[in-house]
Structure 1
Amino acid sequence: MTKEQRNEKVIVFQLKNEEYGAPVDAVGSIERMVEVTRVPGTPQFVKGVINLRGVVTPIIDLRERFGIEPAEYDDSTRIIIVSLEDKEVGMIVDTANDVIDVSADAIEPPPEVIGSVDVDYIRGVAKLDNRLLILLNIEKVLSEEEITEISQVEG
């Protein structure tokens, strides 16, 4: 095998009983759950905004975005801050476990249906030993209109 395998670093997080991965280069930070200020007139999955180091950051609940029943936030709940079209957005997840390398040959195209998560949000599925990791297409989690709508909330 002289061909170099391209590895991709992903942050592993959980929603319900599923493990998801987001590319490390799209993630700015992982924060503990803090109080979120609700903003009227936003979609249900938009929980509101937080002040993150002086920057007003919109927060979405990925469970609700993906149609998974909501859960109580607890000590392991995290907010993953990602960059979407020059905007920072926080995604609430059940836990953020670790950072792993996924080799390109372990990634398969997404199946037609993955639970209740819309296939548009999925970039692929990685089979790692006894784990199945659903790789998110971060850019598709929010549409351009939703990003614009959420951005207006900030300013």
Structure 2
Amino acid sequence: MNDTLTPPKTASAATAVGPLEVVTFTLGKEEYGIDIQRVQELRGYDAVTRIANAPEYIKGVVNLRGIIVPVIDMRIKFNLGTPTYDQFTVVIVLNIRGRVVGMVVDSVSDVITLEPGQIKPPPEMGAALDTDYLIGLGTLEQRMLILVDIDKLMSSDEMGLVEKAAA
């Protein structure tokens, strides 16, 4: 059975069907974007219940209306320095393949629509940078967005938060 939620493999495939609507957020000085269709809700950052022996980037879990949701700090995951939590810190609650996951970011900016011509493929960086989790780079006037393939990232072996679909 085919997994209809499998994201496109390349930027050109991602944009071939038309515009991409993304939620933009910041981590440090960089601006990122993820497909709005994966976002269930936005919440302020609250205390989490820490899980023993979990990787540092998994902050813990929260109870979201009866669902236990793992919470990942993306600043720690992407090695972007020590996170600080303030009134702007947001948890983006994602629904990926039926699994709910929380993602801590510094702030959420807005929702934008990128046309196919505004999305460039990720740069070839060799082993220096893992671009497997990138859809590409979105350009909007003077802004550059790093477009994250959140399905791939959350279902990676390293994260192990969303089971891979059976082939």
In structure 2, what is the Cα distance between the partners aligned to 1:145 and 1:63?
Answer: 16
User: 1 or 2, which has the higher helix percentage?
Assistant: 1
Write out per-residue CA displacement over residues 108-148 of structure 1, whole angstroms, 9 at most, x where no aligned residue. Answer: 101134xx863122110011100001100002223146335
Residue 109 of structure 2 corresponds to 97
Aligned-pair RMSD on alpha carbons?
A: 2.1
**Runs of 4+ displaced beyond 6 Å:** none
Q: SS of the residue aligned with 1:80?
A: strand
1:147 aligns to 2:122 (yes or no): no
Q: CA deviation at 1:70?
A: 2.0
Amino acid at match of 1:50: V
1:125 aligns to 2:124 (yes or no): no
User: 1 or 2, which has the higher strand percentage?
Assistant: 1
* Identity in percent: 38
Residue 43 of structure 2 corresponds to 31
Contact 1:66 1:118 in 2 (8 A): no
Normalised to the residue count of structure 2, the TM-score between the two structures is: 0.80
Write out per-residue CA displacement over residues 9-49 of structure 1, whole angstroms, 9 at most, x where no aligned residue. Answer: 10000000011001000111111101111000111110000
In structure 2, what is the Cα distance between the partners aligned to 1:65 and 1:71?
Answer: 11
Gaps of at least 5 residues in structure 2 are 1-16
Normalised to the residue count of structure 1, the TM-score between the two structures is: 0.85
1:48 aligns to 2:60 (yes or no): yes
